[in-house]
Chains A and B, each alone.
Chain A
């Protein structure tokens, strides 16, 4: 039994250990680096999805409001300005006003104010332009909407339009 612990049993040489350590270091750092890349990518994807999700949400929200609206109150709207606003009046005379304040899009529905964009998103542009028919009546608005993630290069700019229900 004594020979088991003394006799011919050998350890790794120093050189072998150094090679192993070196390879491990390379592999490990590559793996760490890779995981960072993946992590950043995932974070960016989540930002893009949040931006796109918000854009679609806002688009649907404003669209729904316009579907039940009969008129645009031009006096309370701000047209052709990057910090625009638009106020519409429904058939039941409910007033909805969309406007931007400190980079957040809000809706004021009969005095109840709700933010439509998350705190980590910044509305860089909300330009509202009137759409007129032949007789120069307002039939809807065209909006340019630019939404950017705070401290990120992730943004989305969309041009879309909203029509009053009479159309």
Chain B
């Protein structure tokens, strides 16, 4: 019955309320799924940004690694300066102020701070000792998501604890330094050595001596170097009471000095035109201005030691001798009136007799003698050179000639073996001024082998040395007063060195003579037309080829280690120090870019001491705690043998930034 009632009366459909309750339950269930979905969506979205941010931080850390290696100073300069960013531009990372916001709305920045260490060297967050070589860098990437700020950060420590080396080894490195009597070469990758001299680098060895002309003379006319290492300077004079001859003794350390002077007491008469030294006698060709006495003599024979007159030659009339050469017991005098006269000087005293003479094709310019041949330049004729056989001084005669294209002739020069004659003419618009003539054979018409254009100069003297012809030209502004021309290819002479008259003051060279010093260094000694600098010297190569200055020094350019906390440990030098040479070094350090106030110092930190370098590698250990940003070194070179030089191959500063 109860069952019936239940079925019959109570068994009804759901009411609205029941349905609503059921829907409510369903809604709760569904919304929890929705919340779960939303949370998961948020998580994915956050992780997406997190990946992004982490990669930005990674880029920063990598960029800092490059800077640590490459420009530690950028990191140190950013220390304590607030937020910084790293930017990439022109293939390089650099640090700028402030944070950077990327397209993905992530803002990234970093701070650089000093680091401190405890006694065991561990980094501590408080207390400890400041470690100048380490920096703490905190890189932070932050962004806003779902109204909350999020971030990724990374704290790293960077240290410059690696030895760095700054080396000077190339010619470019060394050329940035200051050189005094040293030169930079590039024979094996760049090196510094003592200045070397060659014919082609005349300016390196040029010096103008403060030697005054005697008072009253009008100019210097000639220089002769005697076999007694004396230089004789002859002067022109318009009066008859001026001293016109000077003798200097030349001494050679490695650069010749002219320590003493003797004025020729008898030579106070008219102009000295040329001198020749033979034995202990000096033969002077001079102008003749009187009818008797010394003024009327054309040639004087002087005792070379006392400079006293012992003999003479006089031609009747007032002819002037303009050139003299001595061969054996005969002096050959060139006269202004186109004759050459042979004077017997077997005996030196008294009046000397003439044994022969010859009339030239026209006026002679100067004479040179090699062996049995006398060469004379001819001005103003169809030919420019005559070769005279002087095998028998009592019977001299012309055997050869040369006809070159010069308008006229100023001077000639003859090679030591007599096989080449250089004929120098005045400035000539119609052709070359300098002609090289083949005189291997002495007879007949000699051919021209090559020519050289002098520009505007007017050649005054020619010296032949090795395969070079050295041309002394009259000075005019902008004109080369001294030219060295390589004639190893006679068909195409090439200038390899010169001194321009306007590049060095007081230069007006008129006459040149070669001289080899007792130590084997070769020079050109020059008569210079200047009242206070009558002598100039040019140093050439040595007899064995090399010729180095006796001393010199090299000051390096200043090296920047990048930071004032750099501790310099060593200076490493690769050097070549042959026997008879010395190489020493000092260094200078400081924190001003020009090292002002710093001193050059050697062992013990004083300016009076030097580090002596040995052949091979050298390591100079600097005192402990040598902290400095800028460093420089100075090397001091000496040699007592001009054929060898010490060489600096490389210099390295080894330091910790």
Contact = CB atoms under 8 A, between A and B. Distances in A.
A129 B51 contact: no
Contact of B70 (A16, A52, A139): A139
B70 A134 contact: yes
Contacts of A42: 37, 40
A9 B48 contact: no
Given A9-B11, A12-B13, A161-B63, A167 B30 contact: no
Given A20-B19, A142-B88, A161-B62, A48 B52 contact: no
Contact of B26 (A8, A9, A27, A38): A27
Interface stretch (B1-9, B133-141, B472-480, B592-600): B1-9
B59 to A, nearest CB: 5
A76 to B, nearest CB: 18
Given A34-B30, A45-B44, A52-B47, A132 B91 contact: yes
B37 A19 contact: no
Most chain A Cβ neighbours within 10 Å, of B4, B47, B91: B91
B257 to A, nearest CB: 49
B129 interface: no
A139 B52 contact: no
Contacts of B65: 163, 167
B44 A131 contact: no
A61 interface: no
A55 B4 CA distance: 73
Nearest to B65: A167
Contacts of A56: 51
- Counting chain A CB atoms within 10 Å of each CB, the highest count among B11, B30, B63, B70 belongs to B70
Given A23-B23, A27-B23, A160 B55 contact: yes
A142 B23 CA distance: 58
B23 A4 contact: no
B58 interface: yes
Contact of B8 (A9, A34, A49, A55): A9
Contacts of B26: 27
Contacts of B19: 20, 23
Interface string B53-95: 0011011001101100111000000000000000010011100
Contact of B51 (A34, A45, A55, A162): A55
A34 B34 contact: yes
Contact of B48 (A7, A31, A48, A59): A48
Contacts of B104: 157
Contact of A156 (B51, B63, B70, B92): B51
A158 B55 contact: yes
A12 B7 CA distance: 16
A159 B93 CA distance: 13
B51 A31 contact: no
B52 A16 contact: no
A132 B93 CA distance: 9
Contacts of A41: 37, 40-41
Q: Is the interface of B mostly helix, strand, loop or mixed?
A: helix
Contacts of B63: 161
A8 B69 contact: no
Interface in A101-152: 129-134, 139-140, 142
Contacts of B37: 37-38, 41-42
Contacts of A23: 19, 23
A9 to B, nearest CB: 7
A48 B88 CA distance: 28
A105 B33 CA distance: 39
B59 A159 contact: yes
Q: Which interface class (under 10, 10 to 19, 20 to 34, 35 or more) fits B?
A: 35 or more
B30 A157 contact: no
Contacts of A10: 12
Nearest to A31: B30
A119 B55 CA distance: 24
Nearest to B4: A4
A127 B4 CA distance: 85
B9 A52 contact: no
B307 to A, nearest CB: 68
A42 to B, nearest CB: 8
Nearest to B54: A56
B34 A157 contact: no
Contacts of A52: 47-48, 51
Interface in A41-80: 41-42, 45, 48-49, 52, 55-56, 59
A104 B47 CA distance: 24
Contacts of A45: 40-41, 44
B379 to A, nearest CB: 65
Given A45-B40, A129-B88, A131-B93, A8 B9 contact: yes
Contacts of B58: 59, 160
Given A156-B52, A159-B55, A160-B55, A8 B91 contact: no
A133 B103 contact: no
B17 interface: no
A162 to B, nearest CB: 7
Among B8, B33, B51, B63: residue with most chain A CB under 10 A:
B51
A138 to B, nearest CB: 8
B8 A4 contact: yes
A4 B5 CA distance: 9
Nearest to B90: A132
Given A9-B8, A45-B40, A161-B59, A129 B30 contact: no
A32 to B, nearest CB: 11
B119 interface: no
Given A8-B8, A16-B13, A23-B19, A131 B55 contact: no
A162 B55 CA distance: 12
Contacts of B23: 23, 27
A27 B20 CA distance: 12
Nearest to A135: B70
Count chain B CB atoms within 10 A of each CB in A56, A129, A133 and give the residue with the most: A133
A41 B9 CA distance: 50
B66 A163 contact: yes
Contacts of B56: 158-159
Interface of A: 3-4, 7-12, 16, 19-20, 23, 27, 30-31, 34, 37-38, 41-42, 45, 48-49, 52, 55-56, 59, 129-134, 139-140, 142, 156-163, 167
21 contacts: A4-B4, A8-B8, A9-B8, A10-B12, A19-B16, A23-B23, A27-B23, A31-B30, A34-B30, A34-B34, A48-B44, A55-B51, A59-B55, A132-B91, A134-B71, A157-B103, A158-B55, A159-B55, A160-B59, A163-B65, A167-B69
- A-B pairs with the 6 shortest C-beta distances? A133-B70, A45-B44, A12-B13, A132-B91, A52-B51, A158-B55
Given A52-B48, A161-B63, 11 more contacts: A8-B9, A27-B26, A34-B34, A52-B51, A133-B92, A142-B59, A159-B55, A159-B56, A161-B59, A163-B62, A163-B66
